[in-house]
Structure 1
């Protein structure tokens, strides 16, 4: 059952030819325009839209033709679902084309070449560049996140710790329910460095505050490697963070939009994203690519390793992307940096050998998971490094999508299930006797 908004009554349909034009309620007009009901009245006050009070003065109605004309002028009409029946979202963050992608209209790879991760995140959030910006964790939230992450079993993955850190940081932030744009941005600028700060140092490294005022890449490095970072290594890491900040409606971002549609706070929407990101077909996809490249280097060639994958019925990791016809532009950008680093040469050669070997039968190109794997293998990092980088980086995109979703009609993402179970009504099921554990069957 559909309920009208507080400002409207039912829709008035035109009858026979010559009858009054079809009238829309405030809520229906807002949905056609893709705005909030309050914005509809702002259009009225500016003279862009005419309204008529309903009998009894309990709301207003609008001419459907006039609303449609305004939607065309403003370009804000809700897109129709695609022919395939996919749900379409209106977003101004990322545009993906067959061979490249853009952040708010700017080529994302070009943006990442000239600006660090924090600057790219600000651009995604606000459409403004803030050169030299550094994100700072709130002391209480960071302390809570560190305590929680440190209490987890030693075998816990980085993503396990990040999920726990988000929950702990949220509990320490009494302002997390402020969903105003500035409130969300304040939470985001604190949350991202909190995630990095909550991770343990790699190896036996000291886990202190060293580098807390540096770039996010510089603060993340000691969580990934016990080796000191050089300028070239930090450049690759920072570039990877900037390139991965968003990628339109990937699975984790869709989960974030659903959470945000309920007006869940920013920490909760990031938790939703992390839960989906951990899937082996999403953020964790670089782990298998890491292990494959390490084996290719050890065995001196890709052919036997690729053959083993195919023999076992496994796809060769790190290859192909459904949105790009050729090489993933993020992979190309990272490989261009790795090409300049002598220590990465054997791993980069191994990655290209994998691509060339599989190309004998199918034209699959390198994706960003292969590039992240090449980076992590070259620097002796753990196999889960790519997943960690992905999670930290993509938090920026999740926040951006949450901010967009907060401006949409709440709870709009409610599809209907197609029931395939037995037809009702059915009788109540008979109770099943419970046999005590370890006992034989009752006779």
Structure 2
């Protein structure tokens, strides 16, 4: 919640009273204060310390979001939870990190440089992240103990938890301490993954180190540049489900390792994080069949949604996909997969306008570089770790435990009579 600073006369001209804010939002005055307590709205004391005032533009933005959601807030029907953030803005078919075009940042700077920008608002040219050997050793031992069929997210989550146990300063939530954790945790996660190439060297930019964990194909500058750009493009994307989980954990003052673990846990679900692998398998099937038509028909017949197409936040093409496709066009080995991806889009969008999203672009990259279907999930999780920590840092600066929505009880009405003890049936107690 914002500091309750007294408003100046000039501020008051641009601010609304509680009554005016409530009328604009279409809610009761008590609900306005509920929005403040949940971090959805900032407030200041009025002149003379009487009442509260609210930024008119912020109230209008909340009203627009409420109208789009079909409700009047988190407790209403169809309402949206909104959280103030300075990190990512998604606007039409573009998105921005701290006010800078995210695609331009990702195509001009390394993943580590973009992460630093997201965390601090400053660029550190040439920065690389390194991990202490003690942290890597603990994480590797934990990951090596997992069965071979463990997923990338399993390995990363276990590595994060193991690394936390090796850090006695993990409960220090000051900005400098959390940034220090971030700069060592991300390379620790990568180093803990089993390498595919045995001749790998754990040095240089993070993308080079991650490459050896994704494929046995020899790295070249063009392909590693695609990987590095993909990592930078995926650093953050506003309040996705995993990011919200991270902010809830940070709101409860969980340390950064635990907050990241919360995000990784959400990625285990099939609706967030798995789409890249599904698009990878679809693309391989189209390449094997020679045409998208019969493959798309079979997917639709089975009642499945076509992965890699459309995005609820972009009316047109996902800007992340557009940036990756541009880079992939410079790689000769990617040409067949690019053609298959275009075939998928053309076939599926015959009646309804659909555009490629970042999952399809990642699938083109992973299939053309000899990677497994789980590689996109690994790329996504490693990349998004930086964004999760940025959101955790923001949340540490807010009021603790503010991520506490009210439950809308729909169970049986309270009864004065206690329920009778069940004594019948084979499971009953005598």
**Normalised-by-shorter TM-score class:** 0.7 to 0.9
Question: Matched residues in 2 for 1:130 and 1:117: separation?
Answer: 11
Question: Matched residues in 2 for 1:427 and 1:261: separation?
Answer: 37
When structure 1 is superposed on structure 2, of 138-147 and 232-241 the one drifting more is: 138-147
* Counterpart check, 1:68 vs 2:48: no
Question: Matched residues in 2 for 1:116 and 1:429: separation?
Answer: 65
Give the direction of change, closer, same or farther, for the CA distance of 1:417–1:311 in structure 2 (3 Å limit): same
Match of 1:420 in 2: 410
Match of 1:393 in 2: 383
Question: Matched residues in 2 for 1:275 and 1:133: separation?
Answer: 29
- Consecutive unaligned residues in structure 2, runs of 5 or more: 5-17, 19-32, 70-78
Secondary structure of 1:68 counterpart: strand
Q: CA deviation at 1:314?
A: 0.6
Write the deviation string for residues 66-105 of structure 1: whole angstroms up to 9, x where unpaired: x538x67xx9889746323212111000000111100011
Match of 2:363 in 1: 373
Question: Matched residues in 1 for 2:375 and 2:37: separation?
Answer: 48
**1:88-103 equivalences in 2 (<5 Å):** 88-103=82-97
Secondary structure of 1:101 counterpart: strand
Q: Is the 8 A contact 2:40 2:82 kept in 1?
A: no
Secondary structure of 1:274 counterpart: helix
Q: Is the 8 A contact 1:79 1:89 kept in 2?
A: no
Q: CA deviation at 1:359?
A: 1.5
Q: Is the 8 A contact 1:34 1:77 kept in 2?
A: no
Question: Matched residues in 2 for 1:357 and 1:30: separation?
Answer: 45
* Counterpart check, 1:351 vs 2:306: no
Write the deviation string for residues 133-175 of structure 1: whole angstroms up to 9, x where unpaired: 0001122211111000000011111111101001000011011
Question: Matched residues in 2 for 1:347 and 1:402: separation?
Answer: 37
Question: Matched residues in 1 for 2:218 and 2:362: separation?
Answer: 19
Q: CA deviation at 1:278?
A: 2.2
Q: CA deviation at 1:31?
A: 7.6
Match of 2:23 in 1: none
Q: CA deviation at 1:428?
A: 2.8
Write the deviation string for residues 382-423 of structure 1: whole angstroms up to 9, x where unpaired: 101110000000001000001111111111111111112222
Write the deviation string for residues 252-310 of structure 1: whole angstroms up to 9, x where unpaired: 00111111111110001101100112222211111110000001001101001000001
**1:24-103 equivalences in 2 (<5 Å):** 34=42, 62-64=49-51, 68=53, 80=62, 82-83=65-66, 84=69, 85-103=79-97
* Counterpart check, 1:224 vs 2:218: no
**1:397-416 equivalences in 2 (<5 Å):** 397-416=387-406
Q: TM-score, normalised by structure 1?
A: 0.81
* Counterpart check, 1:298 vs 2:293: no
Question: Matched residues in 2 for 1:124 and 1:300: separation?
Answer: 42
Q: Is the 8 A contact 2:40 2:81 kept in 1?
A: no
> Which of 115, 134, 142 matches 1:140?
134
Secondary structure of 2:53 counterpart: helix
Question: Matched residues in 1 for 2:233 and 2:333: separation?
Answer: 23
Match of 2:312 in 1: 322
> Which of 205, 226, 234 matches 1:244?
234
Question: Matched residues in 2 for 1:312 and 1:33: separation?
Answer: 45
Q: Is the 8 A contact 1:291 1:383 kept in 2?
A: yes
Match of 2:177 in 1: 183
> Which of 235, 241, 266 matches 2:225?
235
Q: How large is the RMSD of aligned CA atoms in angstroms?
A: 2.8
Give the direction of change, closer, same or farther, for the CA distance of 1:434–1:260 in structure 2 (3 Å limit): farther
Q: Is the 8 A contact 2:40 2:83 kept in 1?
A: no
Match of 1:46 in 2: none
Q: CA deviation at 1:32?
A: 10
Question: Matched residues in 1 for 2:39 and 2:225: separation?
Answer: 45
Write the deviation string for residues 221-246 of structure 1: whole angstroms up to 9, x where unpaired: 01000121111110000000000000
Match of 2:120 in 1: 126
* Counterpart check, 1:312 vs 2:302: yes
Paired residues, what number? 385
Q: TM-score, normalised by structure 2?
A: 0.84
Question: Matched residues in 1 for 2:366 and 2:129: separation?
Answer: 25
Give the direction of change, closer, same or farther, for the CA distance of 1:76–1:138 in structure 2 (3 Å limit): farther
Q: Is the 8 A contact 1:99 1:326 kept in 2?
A: yes
Question: Matched residues in 2 for 1:285 and 1:30: separation?
Answer: 31
